[in-house]
Structure 1
């Protein structure tokens, strides 16, 4: 009897399960009513002296959430590899959310900030809706958005320069003598889809090339969707000689389809992706891709969030990461692969 309160006695006093008490005391997402019951019971039983309960009452959990559209996308993994060590060095654990780009799931993550299960949030949404903006304006903890948000949004923001990135890719293809440059994009109601589609059209205009809707195919940011979209595009416009893909996963799907149809890369069709993920260098042929600085954006977001957690209450900050073009065999040809192998073995 003299050993003090335990998780079991708190569960009995609160009228909830032992598992629910454990979730609350470990700062995991839990219904607000359950949190109130557990904390009231812990107070009554004198458990607030416990370090975890004390941290909850002081609104510090030493946890940060990272919400992304697709945990399987290498671009987000590159962000994660930079976010985690920055936060770990500052004494924070990282909680991951893969939302599948479902707006309702992202809004739920923002709403749950009021339940104090994390001290801050890094989010990379594909779509930014009015509801996102409303929730960001009243967020109960610091938030950093990786991706573009409307001007005037009062939130720290780390963004890529997709416009310049697409221009680098199209200019490269044009310099190679390609004139039937097609594009496979993601949904136009997403931030990257809209930006990359507009940049493609602008780049063609600046080069004096006509914009042809028959050379544009809208799919989604997944490899399987890339296969489907490229197959439809080739059936409609078999004469294309270059393909600008809105991300590397689409481009890998394009390589699958071109190989199956006997179209040589890059002799018949040159292919460029975006994100310059680990998969780009490992594909066959290796994929020319525009790096949008996923790792740099992740690190910058983590550093901005730490500044807020350490008391910075200044105006929202915006960081833009410059793109760069990584040229590989899917545009440079087999000689590039041979040269790289020789240099790698030297």
Structure 2
């Protein structure tokens, strides 16, 4: 039964006695099963009077459900993941699930460990957003004993639902915007190329230049990491090597904020001397100085879509793995458009 005695405290039996109903009726009410409204009222009133505590552990063992879902992300301090979290949490909470968070620091072994731990049934499902997708990820996803939704790109045929951004189109929106402003020395400051976003955004930058008829120049590409301090270091190295850069395409907002720090310290005006574009359109983009033009990759929308897909699986949907792609949009602000962006130019453009 699901009564938890507290010393000589109440149990399901004492609740039944106090409410004047059967033990079976009490069990139905405490397990959320349909019953007469008057019976439910009596049982809940008696339980409250007696200080009864439902035993969640016993309920989990009986139903093999924990009513918990995990969210594993690379960096809990990254505003893009926080935007996902703000949408995932209410969707799951409304369905009666608690959320367990894992910040893996993009360490593959930690992510694989999270996938393996699903066999211990500590959660009913998992949403994960890995920066790298390895063969070990794919093997663990195929063997997962609970539903998994991946936010990020995975190979076709992966046994998991997938919610992804279209960062290639997003980079094209940004480079087209910079080109339309008359910028021709457009540099790319990227994260590691062995990550899914780093590889996709680097390739998209090259394709965008080619389509615009601009030459690709290795000197205009600097590889760093997806953090503000690393972004600043990468931009400083880039500008020391190629001082005539007139635009920076940054692979995320944190890199772009580091770029603004370096440009400000070096006395270069933004956007007059160097225009800057980030990616993710996080809260920090609008709050920076100058405010940052950024490509929204729909972090909030991806989080909500992932939570909804996972709930469908938890409710018994056993259809083939599904793919949801969230289109990008360009949000123009002062880092490319000057003071005009603080008024009517602070708008969303583009998209697919």
1:192 partnered with 2:179: no
> Are 1:282 and 2:261 an aligned pair?
no
Deviation at 1:105, TM superposition (A): 0.5
1:265 has 2:270 as partner: yes
Work out whether 1:171 is the aligned partner of 2:176: yes
Aligned equivalents of 1:127 and 1:274: distance in 2?
Answer: 18
1:255 maps to 260
How far apart, in 1, do the equivalents of 2:7 and 2:57 lie? 21
Task: State the distance in 1 between where 2:226 and 2:120 align.
Answer: 32
Matched, 1:308 2:310: no
Cα displacement (A) at 1:334: 2.0
| 1:258 and 1:264 in contact (8 A); partners too | yes
Deviation at 1:2, TM superposition (A): 8.1
In the TM superposition, 1:93-108 aligns within 5 A as: 93-108=98-113
Shift in CA distance, 195/317, structure 1 to aligned 2, threshold 3 Å: same
Q: What is the number of equivalent residue pairs in this alignment?
A: 299
- The alpha-carbon deviation at position 340 of structure 1 amounts to 7.5
User: What aligned pairs does 1:291-306 form with structure 2 within 5 A after superposition?
Assistant: 291-306=296-311
**Match in the other structure for 1:79:** 84
The alpha carbon displacement at 1:168 in A equals 0.1
Asked if the contact 1:56/1:116 (under 8 Å) is kept, the reply is no
Question: Does the aligned pair in 1 maintain the 2:209–2:215 contact within 8 Å?
Answer: yes
* Change over 3 Å in CA distance of 1:250–1:51 after alignment to 2: closer
Normalized against structure 2, the TM-score is what? Answer: 0.82
Q: CA deviation at 1:3?
A: 4.1
Task: Determine the C-alpha separation between the residues in 1 that align with 2:56 and 2:153.
Answer: 39
Cα distance in 2 for partners of 1:103, 1:225 equals: 20
> For each residue in 1:317-340, what CA deviation from the matched residue of structure 2 results, as whole angstroms up to 9, or x when unmatched?
000000000000000012333667
3-state SS of the aligned residue for 1:231?
Answer: helix
Task: State the distance in 2 between where 1:281 and 1:81 align.
Answer: 18
Q: Which runs of 5+ in 1 are unaligned?
A: 5-48, 342-346
2:230: which partner in 1? 225
Q: Does residue 232 of structure 2 align to residue 210 of structure 1?
A: no
Q: Look up the match of 1:144.
A: 149
Q: Summarize deviations over 1:229-272 as a string: whole Å, max 9, x none.
A: 00000000000000000000000000000000011000000000
Distance in structure 1 (CA, Å) of the matches to 2:276 and 2:101:
33
RMSD: 1.8
- 1:328 aligned onto 2:350: no
1:187-236 per-position Cα deviation (integer Å, ceiling 9, x unaligned): 00000000000000000000000000000000000000000000000000
Matched, 1:130 2:149: no
Q: Distance in 1 between matches of 2:204 and 2:81?
A: 23
Task: Find the aligned partners of 1:167 and 1:58 in 2 and give their Cα distance.
Answer: 49
* Alpha-carbon contact 2:251-2:278 (below 8 Å) kept: yes
CA deviation profile, 1:13-56 (whole Å, cap 9, x unmatched): xxxxxxxxxxxxxxxxxxxxxxxxxxxxxxxxxxxx94422313
Instruction: Report the Cα distance in structure 1 between the residues aligned to 2:343 and 2:151, rounded to whole angstroms.
Output: 37
TM-score, normalised with respect to structure 1 = 0.84
Shift in Å, 1:57? 4.1
**1:239 aligned partner:** 244
Distance 1:303 1:286, change over 3 A: same
Distance 1:340 1:315, change over 3 A: closer
Contact 1:162 1:323 in 2 (8 A): yes
Q: How far apart are the structure 1 equivalents of 2:242 and 2:229?
A: 20
